[in-house]
């Protein structure tokens, strides 16, 4: 067994020696009391202060250009076109202070300019190359998140519903208008009383065989379509989700065929007046994303031609007969929702884009900012404080991890769109739900941490954290609430678990469960649970094994609990009794997938120094996650006390090492200053303070 003491002699974990710890605490108190009351400074010998600063340690040599080359997606060129277009157009840049109404108009002009003037055609990319489309979504979102969402409403939601739920006649009729922004549209699913529970929505579409039309109605105020993007001001059409009612010859009069989607014109094409029978109100000023005009829609006997039913999964003939290739309402509903995962993929991907901006600003500022330091010596950079490293370095590592995981997701999504392979559909559905939930929750929390890490200057609106936080916050809720989405991941895991025990096969993403189930259901190995050497802890096999062990155990135990509780509480009650357990399981699985993708990305990196840097970052990601959940590992003796301690020490050491290349790591994201747009986060650190002071008129 290796001794970590020999490994880390002269490294930061020496601080963990209790005496040293106490000395460090005393020194900090002395420094702080000096700050508060300069007269009371006691003499402190300089040799005792050496451990305070981290500067000067050996660091990996890494080139940000090589890193950027490896990270860069194949559509970097189109992202640069987006950035340059807006950079050259001051009138299209969103000012810091802007009213809701002005922001909405600006956002519309930005979108129209992008499509008609800059020649970016997102709808074409949706069809021909979804990876390119997501690259545009990410770039546009970093210009103004409202613009990213408005673009997503137009092309992923309104356009996506026509493409994926309609048939050729719909594409022929609407494609061009959607593409060139002649037909701005909405996606009207959510109602006042029903958001996550889409199957509970109440808007109805009744077929009238006499006039060959559907009649759209809002039967009560709870069914008013709510939060509908593009509805309050700009939309001309809406894809309205409603229960399809067909006349029957029995006593019931109508038969409910389940939720279907219908194209409903909502404003006149020429005058832009709201059409008869439709009432539209504004959802008003929001916490963020005020460039998007969310509105509420109420329908009173609004007639639309039969052709406006988006009929890919179910159709109604001239004489009112219903046909579908799918046998039940539930199957049709699942197929309908399954086609809409593109929006979720876009949100996960863009959320990483937001995280990159926030981490870049926070890291650059933390390198620049100096506070305190040993007596009579220069002040030190705040990133030299262990606490600042602890706040930001695992976050920087996670940003890299998410970059590779969401890049994988968009590639898989594009592959699925081509092949329509059933296994791939199920994988992408679950992966997009899990990554959207996991990444957007992480980013939302990190935005607050980044603001706080930048102190008071982080609170200045010009330094971006406020708008990033407010605009991004809702990413956790729309396109599927995160808590609800994680449950979908848990459902799939349980399905896989059941199939495993019934002799079925497992799809690619879940393959690890096959081995895990066999290996991990036994007790942890008492010998390996004590291994604490650096080589072992930094071995990807150990790290992946730990992640997967946790998932497998959680899966096995929750399956057991569900079986037990369903006998007394029924299926719904048992699920609710185990809900937190199920959510932890889903997160654990997603973390396993993220780590696996990161490890693959490290292995595939062709440049030696970039590979070494990525390995360091990947190790930090893995060990920080394990440390955060150390209680679980300790509870089942997967990790013995000595190993837990070694993991903690190594995590702090890796944070410190990553800090040494933090500048190169954020430069690797290739975010120009006109995209980060925060004076304190400028690439040329020497100009940051003066640029910032200029914003206040100096």
Ligand X SMILES: Cc1cc2nc3c(=O)[nH]c(=O)nc-3n(C[C@H](O)[C@H](O)[C@H](O)COP(=O)(O)OP(=O)(O)OC[C@H]3O[C@@H](n4cnc5c(N)ncnc54)[C@H](O)[C@@H]3O)c2cc1C
Q: Name the residue nearer to ligand X (CB basis): 164 or 651.
A: 164
Q: Name the residue nearer to ligand X (CB basis): 189 or 513.
A: 189
Distance (Å, rounded) from C-alpha 436 to C-alpha 348?
4
Distance (Å, rounded) from C-alpha 490 to C-alpha 486?
6
Does residue number 228 form part of the binding site for ligand X (CB under 6 A)?
Answer: yes
Does residue number 204 form part of the binding site for ligand X (CB under 6 A)?
Answer: no
Kindly report the three-state secondary structure assignment for every residue of 635-691. HCCCCCHHHHHHHHHHHHHHHHHHHHCHHHHHHCCCCCHHHHCCHHHCCCHHHHHHH
Q: Name the residue nearer to ligand X (CB basis): 227 or 656.
A: 227
Contact window for ligand X (CB under 6 A) among 72-80, 135-143, 361-369, 481-489:
481-489
Q: How far is the CB of 640 from ligand X (least distance, A)?
A: 36
Write phi, then psi, for 217 (nearest 5 degrees): -135, 145
For ligand X, the binding residue among 289, 428, 460, 613 (CB under 6 A) is: 289
Q: How far is the CB of 194 from ligand X (least distance, A)?
A: 7
Q: How far is the CB of 234 from ligand X (least distance, A)?
A: 12
Distance (Å, rounded) from C-alpha 266 to C-alpha 436?
31
Contact window for ligand X (CB under 6 A) among 185-193, 447-455, 510-518, 591-599:
185-193
Q: How far is the CB of 239 from ligand X (least distance, A)?
A: 9
Nearest to 647 by CA among 532, 549, 524, 526: 532
Q: How far is the CB of 348 from ligand X (least distance, A)?
A: 15
Distance (Å, rounded) from C-alpha 229 to C-alpha 532?
53
| CA distances to 20, 34, 50, 366, 370 from 29, in Å | 14, 8, 16, 22, 18
Q: How far is the CB of 196 from ligand X (least distance, A)?
A: 3
- Locate 531 and state its tokens: 């291994």
CA angle 85, 86, 87 (to 5 degrees): 95
What is the distance, to the nearest Å, from the Cα of residue 433 to the centroid of all Cα atoms in its chain? Answer: 10
Contact status, residue 130 vs residue 410, Cβ threshold 8 Å: yes
Q: Name the residue nearer to ligand X (CB basis): 215 or 228.
A: 228
For ligand X, the binding residue among 478, 497, 621, 653 (CB under 6 A) is: 478
Q: Any known ligand binding at 229?
A: yes
Does residue number 341 form part of the binding site for ligand X (CB under 6 A)?
Answer: no
Does residue number 229 form part of the binding site for ligand X (CB under 6 A)?
Answer: yes
Q: How far is the CB of 291 from ligand X (least distance, A)?
A: 11
Distance (Å, rounded) from C-alpha 611 to C-alpha 623?
18
Does residue number 201 form part of the binding site for ligand X (CB under 6 A)?
Answer: no
- Locate 133 and state its tokens: 């489309």
Q: Burial letters for 478-512: b for 16+ Cβ neighbours within 10 Å, e otherwise?
A: bbbebeebbbbbbebbbebbeebeeeeebbebbeb
Contact status, residue 206 vs residue 245, Cβ threshold 8 Å: yes
Contact window for ligand X (CB under 6 A) among 168-176, 270-278, 476-484, 586-594:
476-484
Does residue number 294 form part of the binding site for ligand X (CB under 6 A)?
Answer: yes
Look up 686 and say whether it is catalytic.
no
Catalytic hit among 479, 587, 591, 652? 479
Nearest to 109 by CA among 117, 98, 119, 100: 117
Contact status, residue 557 vs residue 581, Cβ threshold 8 Å: yes
Contact status, residue 604 vs residue 628, Cβ threshold 8 Å: no
Total residues interacting with ligand X, rule: CB under 6 A:
19
Does residue number 196 form part of the binding site for ligand X (CB under 6 A)?
Answer: yes
SS3 (DSSP) at 349: helix
Q: How far is the CB of 189 from ligand X (least distance, A)?
A: 3
Does residue number 470 form part of the binding site for ligand X (CB under 6 A)?
Answer: no
Does residue number 353 form part of the binding site for ligand X (CB under 6 A)?
Answer: no
Q: Name the residue nearer to ligand X (CB basis): 166 or 229.
A: 229
Does residue number 199 form part of the binding site for ligand X (CB under 6 A)?
Answer: no
Q: How far is the CB of 336 from ligand X (least distance, A)?
A: 13
CA angle 122, 123, 128 (to 5 degrees): 95
Site string for ligand X, 507-546 (x = CB under 6 A): ----------------------------------------
Contact window for ligand X (CB under 6 A) among 119-127, 135-143, 421-429, 474-482:
474-482
For ligand X, the binding residue among 484, 506, 559, 630 (CB under 6 A) is: 484
Site string for ligand X, 571-610 (x = CB under 6 A): ----------------------------------------
Distance (Å, rounded) from C-alpha 598 to C-alpha 601?
5
Contact window for ligand X (CB under 6 A) among 31-39, 475-483, 502-510, 594-602:
475-483
For ligand X, the binding residue among 195, 353, 394, 681 (CB under 6 A) is: 195
Nearest to 427 by CA among 490, 344, 508: 508
Q: Name the residue nearer to ligand X (CB basis): 343 or 668.
A: 343
For ligand X, the binding residue among 477, 557, 566, 642 (CB under 6 A) is: 477
Write phi, then psi, for 387 (nearest 5 degrees): -65, -40
Q: Name the residue nearer to ligand X (CB basis): 243 or 364.
A: 243
Contact status, residue 154 vs residue 184, Cβ threshold 8 Å: yes
Contact window for ligand X (CB under 6 A) among 226-234, 308-316, 491-499, 662-670:
226-234
Q: Name the residue nearer to ligand X (CB basis): 73 or 195.
A: 195
Contact window for ligand X (CB under 6 A) among 12-20, 255-263, 312-320, 472-480:
472-480
- List the 278-282 sheet strands across, edge first: 225-228, 295-299, 278-282
Q: Name the residue nearer to ligand X (CB basis): 484 or 636.
A: 484
Window 125 to 184, contacts with ligand X (CB under 6 A)? 153
Contact status, residue 238 vs residue 231, Cβ threshold 8 Å: yes
Nearest to 170 by CA among 258, 257, 237: 237
Q: How far is the CB of 160 from ligand X (least distance, A)?
A: 12
Contact status, residue 305 vs residue 169, Cβ threshold 8 Å: no
Q: How far is the CB of 298 from ligand X (least distance, A)?
A: 15
Distance (Å, rounded) from C-alpha 389 to C-alpha 664?
15
Distance (Å, rounded) from C-alpha 486 to C-alpha 480?
10
Distance (Å, rounded) from C-alpha 396 to C-alpha 608?
20
Task: Please report which helix (H) or strand (E) contains residue 205, including its range.
Answer: strand 204-208
Distance (Å, rounded) from C-alpha 463 to C-alpha 689?
12
Site string for ligand X, 236-275 (x = CB under 6 A): ----------------------------------------
Which residue's beta carbon is nearest to the bound ligand X? Answer: 195
Contact status, residue 394 vs residue 323, Cβ threshold 8 Å: no
Using the structure block, give the residue that is written with the tokens 């009383």.
Answer: 193
Does residue number 488 form part of the binding site for ligand X (CB under 6 A)?
Answer: no
Q: Any known ligand binding at 504?
A: no
Does residue number 227 form part of the binding site for ligand X (CB under 6 A)?
Answer: yes
For ligand X, the binding residue among 11, 30, 483, 557 (CB under 6 A) is: 483
Contact window for ligand X (CB under 6 A) among 10-18, 224-232, 537-545, 680-688:
224-232
User: Quick one: CA dihedral 620, 621, 622, 626, positive or negative?
Assistant: positive
Does residue number 474 form part of the binding site for ligand X (CB under 6 A)?
Answer: yes
- Locate 507 and state its tokens: 């799809």
Q: How far is the CB of 286 from ligand X (least distance, A)?
A: 6
Q: Give the residue numbers of the binding site for FAD.
A: 190, 229
Interacting residues toward ligand X by CB under 6 A: 153, 187-190, 195-196, 227-229, 286, 289, 294, 474, 477-478, 481, 483-484
Instruction: Show which residues are catalytic.
Output: 479
Q: Give the residue numbers of the binding site.
A: 190, 229
């Amino acid at each position: 067994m290796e001794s970590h003491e020999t490994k880390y002699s002269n490294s930061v974990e020496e601080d963990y020696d209790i005496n040293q710890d106490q000395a460090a605490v005393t020194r900090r108190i002395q420094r702080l009391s000096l700050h508060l009351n300069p007269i009371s400074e006691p003499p402190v010998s300089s040799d005792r202060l050496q451990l305070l600063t981290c500067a000067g340690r050996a660091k990996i040599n890494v080139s940000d250009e090589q890193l950027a080359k490896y990270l860069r997606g194949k559509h970097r060129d189109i992202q640069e076109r987006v950035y340059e277009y807006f950079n050259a157009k001051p009138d299209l840049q969103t000012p810091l202070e802007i009213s809701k109404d002005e922001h909405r108009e600006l956002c519309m002009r930005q979108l129209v300019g992008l499509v008609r003037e800059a020649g970016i055609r997102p709808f074409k990319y949706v069809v021909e190359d979804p990876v390119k489309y997501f690259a545009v979504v990410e770039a546009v979102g970093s210009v103004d998140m409202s613009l990213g969402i408005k673009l997503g409403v137009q092309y992923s939601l309104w356009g996506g519903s026509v493409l994926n739920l309609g048939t050729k006649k719909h594409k022929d009729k609407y494609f061009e208008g959607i593409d060139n922004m002649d037909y701005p549209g909405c996606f009207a699913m959510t109602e006042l009383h029903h958001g996550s529970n889409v199957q509970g929505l109440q808007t109805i579409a009744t077929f009238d065989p006499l006039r060959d039309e559907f009649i759209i109605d809002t039967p009560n105020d709870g069914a008013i379509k709510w939060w509908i993007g593009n509805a309050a001001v700009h939309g001309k059409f809406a894809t309205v989700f409603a229960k399809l009612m067909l006349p029957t010859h029995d006593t019931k009069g109508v038969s409910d065929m389940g939720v279907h989607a219908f194209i409903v014109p909502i404003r006149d094409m020429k005058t832009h007046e709201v059409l008869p029978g439709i009432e539209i109100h504004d959802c008003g000023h929001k916490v963020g994303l005020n460039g998007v005009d969310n509105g509420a829609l109420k329908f009173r006997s609004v007639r639309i031609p039969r052709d406006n039913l988006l009929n890919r999964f179910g159709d109604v003939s001239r004489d009112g007969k219903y046909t579908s290739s799918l046998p039940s309402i539930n199957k049709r509903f699942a197929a309908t929702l399954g086609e809409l995962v593109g929006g979720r993929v876009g949100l996960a991907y863009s959320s990483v884009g937001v995280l990159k901006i926030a981490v870049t600003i926070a890291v650059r500022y933390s390198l620049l900012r100096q506070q305190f330091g040993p007596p009579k010596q220069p002040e030190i950079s705040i990133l030299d404080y262990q606490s600042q490293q602890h706040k930001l370095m695992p976050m920087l590592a996670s940003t890299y991890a998410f970059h590779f995981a969401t890049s994988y997701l968009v590639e898989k999504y594009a592959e699925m769109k081509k092949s329509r392979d059933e296994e791939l559909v199920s994988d992408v559905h679950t992966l997009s739900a899990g990554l959207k939930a996991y990444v957007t929750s992480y980013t939302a929390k990190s935005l607050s941490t980044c603001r706080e890490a930048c102190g008071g200057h982080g609170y200045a609106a010009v330094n971006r954290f406020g708008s990033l936080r407010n605009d991004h916050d809702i990413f956790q809720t729309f396109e599927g609430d995160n808590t609800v989405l994680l449950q979908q991941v848990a459902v799939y895991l349980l399905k896989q678990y059941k199939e495993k025990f019934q002799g079925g096969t497992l799809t690619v993403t879940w393959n690890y469960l096959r081995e895990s189930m066999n290996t991990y259901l036994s007790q942890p190995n008492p010998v390996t649970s004590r291994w604490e050497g650096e080589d072992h802890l930094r071995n990807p096999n150990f790290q992946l094994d730990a992640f997967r062990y946790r998932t497998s155990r959680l899966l096995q135990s929750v399956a057991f609990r569900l079986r037990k509780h369903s006998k007394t509480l029924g299926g719904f009650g048992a699920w609710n009794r185990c809900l937190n357990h199920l959510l932890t399981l889903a997160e654990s699985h997603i973390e396993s997938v993220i780590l696996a993708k990161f490890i693959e990305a490290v292995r595939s990196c062709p440049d030696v120094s970039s590979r070494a840097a990525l390995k360091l970052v990947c190790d930090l990601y893995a060990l920080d996650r394990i440390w955060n959940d150390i209680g679980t590992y300790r509870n089942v003796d997967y990790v013995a006390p000595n190993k837990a301690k070694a993991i903690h020490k190594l995590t702090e050491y890796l944070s410190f090492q990553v800090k040494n290349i933090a500048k190169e790591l954020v430069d690797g994201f290739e975010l120009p200053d006109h995209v980060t747009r925060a004076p304190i986060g400028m690439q040329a650190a020497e100009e940051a303070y003066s640029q910032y002071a200029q914003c206040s008129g100096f």
